[in-house]
Amino acid sequence: MTELFDRLYSQFLRGKINRQEFRSFKESLNHLSDQELSERMESFWNEHTVYPSLEVGRKQEIQRRLRSQINPSKTSIRWSRIVAAVAVVAVLSVTAWNFSLLHELQNGNASFLAEVPAGDRVQLTLPDKSSVKLNSESSLSYAYVGGKRIARLEGEGYFQVSKDTRHPFVVQVGSLNIEVLGTCFNVCSYKENDFVETSLIEGSVRLYDSKSPSESIILKPSQKAIYSKNNGKISFHNTDNVKETAWIQNRLVFESEKLGSVFQKIERWYGVHIELLCPEIVNDPITGSFRGEQLPYVMEALKIQYGFDYEITGNKVTINKSNQLKIK
Q: What is the pLDDT of residues 11-48, one digit of tens each?
A: 665 556 666 666 676 666 666 666 666 676 667 666 65
CA distance 121 to 88: 7
Decide: 295 and 272 in contact? Cβ < 8 Å.
Answer: yes
Q: How confident is the model at residue 241 (pLDDT cuts 50, 70, 90)?
A: confident
Q: What is the pLDDT of residue 89?
A: 31
Q: What is the pLDDT of residue 267?
A: 93
Does the predicted model carry a pTM greater than 0.75? no
Q: Is the pLDDT of residue 137 over 70?
A: yes
Average of per-residue pLDDT across 114-131: 87
CA distance 141 to 153: 7
CA distance 26 to 41: 14
Percentage of the residues of the chain whose pLDDT score is greater than 70: 65
CA distance 8 to 20: 11
Q: What is the pLDDT of residue 68?
A: 53
Q: Is the pLDDT of residue 69 over 80?
A: no
Q: Which of 86-90, 105-109, 320-324 has the highest mean pLDDT?
A: 320-324
Q: What is the pLDDT of residue 163?
A: 87
Decide: 258 and 301 in contact? Cβ < 8 Å.
Answer: no
State whether residue 55 is helix, strand or coil. Answer: coil
Amino acid at 278: C
CA distance 10 to 45: 10
Q: What is the pLDDT of residue 176?
A: 94
List, for residues 85-101, the tens digit of each pLDDT value. Answer: 333 332 333 333 333 34
CA distance to 186, 206, 222, 254, per residue, from 238 (Å):
14, 17, 6, 17
For 314, counting Cβ atoms within 10 Å of its Cβ (0-12 exposed, 13-18 middle, 19+ buried), the class is exposed
CA distance 43 to 49: 11
Decide: 282 and 258 in contact? Cβ < 8 Å.
Answer: yes
Question: How many residues does this entry show for the chain?
Answer: 328
Q: What is the pLDDT of residue 197?
A: 95
CA distance 170 to 266: 30
Region of 108 (left: φ > 0; alpha: ψ -120 to 50; beta: rest) is left
Q: How confident is the model at residue 145 (pLDDT cuts 50, 70, 90)?
A: confident
CA distance to 122, 300, 326, per residue, from 295 (Å):
19, 9, 21
> Which residue would you say has higher pLDDT here, 258 or 25?
258
Average of per-residue pLDDT across 246-264: 90
CA distance 45 to 203: 30
Strands (E), 108-194: 111-116, 122-125, 131-134, 138-145, 148-160, 169-173, 176-180, 184-189
Name which of 87-101, 137-151, 221-235 the model is least confident about. Answer: 87-101
Average of per-residue pLDDT across 46-64: 58
Average of per-residue pLDDT across 265-290: 91
Q: Which of 179, 181, 177, 130 is nearest to 158 (CA)?
A: 130
Q: Is the pLDDT of residue 294 over 70?
A: yes
Q: What is the pLDDT of residue 109?
A: 47
DSSP 53: P
User: Residue 298: which residues within 8 A CB-CB, separation 6 or more?
Assistant: 252, 266, 270, 290
Q: Which of 175, 216, 222 is nearest to 198 (CA)?
A: 222
Q: Is the pLDDT of residue 258 over 80?
A: yes
Average of per-residue pLDDT across 287-295: 88
CA distance 191 to 219: 24
For 280, counting Cβ atoms within 10 Å of its Cβ (0-12 exposed, 13-18 middle, 19+ buried), the class is exposed
DSSP 51: S
Region of 222 (left: φ > 0; alpha: ψ -120 to 50; beta: rest) is left
**Taking the domain 250-320, which CATH number applies?**
3.55.50.30
